[in-house]
Structure 1
């Protein structure tokens, strides 16, 4: 892979807020981060760790406590607001309150840094607006009023406005916060697609850990206490950063499946053999019912007591069979419900 030039770079950046009398509270830092064109970067972390503060600082809405932010070769805090507006477009998490504004008018606001206070659109402006509408698939409701749109449609319109602003960097603060599951999936997939097709850098904060693992080119993983791990999603899973960042009592990140499991105590281990969809969902059902899936080897199991619980899953779909070995006895079940009730 060819080396990429950084679109945004932070050097020994410390973020936080002023507390008065010349004092300040550092939330995170020093942070040395990079953003590249064509990348979708997801900022993850528990509530209160400083995600929004980092986004506000990087976007120029809040001054850093220490360090430096280089944006497209220039020091961010030395740029005028009009210059920043041509480099960064920002989509906040708040619900859109656009009154009686129609969709096209709101998207057109993205051209404000170029059209000035008169808001006169040139043919070039209109062309860029049309490209933004096409890229975000908002043409179907372009003539409607903003207050008639669903949350998912509103978020796509706000993204179209950011695209119309035509900046190399787009920053979104929890863009999926008010969306249902299908809309969240659709928006995350759209953001990934836009980063690739437009060569823009897109940075977003989100709580959609499972979706971020699927679409992010890079993940910035913040922890309480100010630490931040940056890298490929797979790297952060393999080195244990994901597990440590979200580890709480009774909740464990399963690196094998990329999901979080809720562990209950008070029941035995169970050894599950078999592959495929049926075996995967059998394990899910067992964990939900308070069992711990044993990772013991065959040799270990042979030397274990006769009370070791084992299940073999074979077949797929309606032909799936669950064969249970318990107390030196064996029984086969033709349904997952019947198998679970027998345990």
Structure 2
């Protein structure tokens, strides 16, 4: 391979991130040296069990929650399924209505569709041109049979931040549970789980420079969910199966690093985003979207002036790698549900740049 050829800059971190070298080094011994089952009573099992306990503490410190409120899963998608299906099933005696938003991740929308097929009533809130819900509409949508509200923290395609604390106040006042997909927020926005008004929260390790295949559902103690996976009683019986110790260790280390380097990372992202905005606008290649509302500094949405997104990204592929939207649906950009719900013109011309 010709080492003189420089690699393109990777700007698709909202899809997945490179594992931090320090995270990798923390994980490696648990593949081949300390490979015991964390549920075993011997020395190797105890080492693995202590490593998982350390990771639980690292995640809890980042999110300002209690360690026993964490359920380790395979990622945000499983966590979403456990939160929505599990809560509805455990609380079906109280009602059969949930509320979500048209611009949620497909993991939420497809789970809601499944629940609708099981007889659950689902209300899908509209958003304005900036992707924000109306708090009045949310309040009006809640009724006696409402069990749960599911609204994401940061949109994965646009970077727009929903008014989470205000949503939490409404759900608390109306005595319904609040689930939040915080996959694009954890480590990028300061989160205090107990002050947020959120009852359940999820994220994935691979979005925060940790490994793929591991994630978390944070659940307040009084929130009851029915498990999706039954097994040996791991995670208080809420998620059976042998602990994937190396991945959990990696997740914990990634959270520790995010906590320690939060301000430094955020300042760097703000600077990069500002430079990118200037580049696209000064060259008149594209227009920056959502400048009038709060967005994460890690995601930048651009509407191109003279190119369709796929064409532009192919043209620039030797310089940088970005995407046309969510990695789960980027091949179907013509029907991006997020951009369509916001009535964004020229959907085919929108690209997403996501910074590490």
TM-score normalised by L of structure 2: 0.29
Higher helix share: 2
The higher relative CO (CA closer than 8 Å, separation ≥ 6) is in: 2
TM-score normalised by L of structure 1: 0.29
Higher strand share: 1
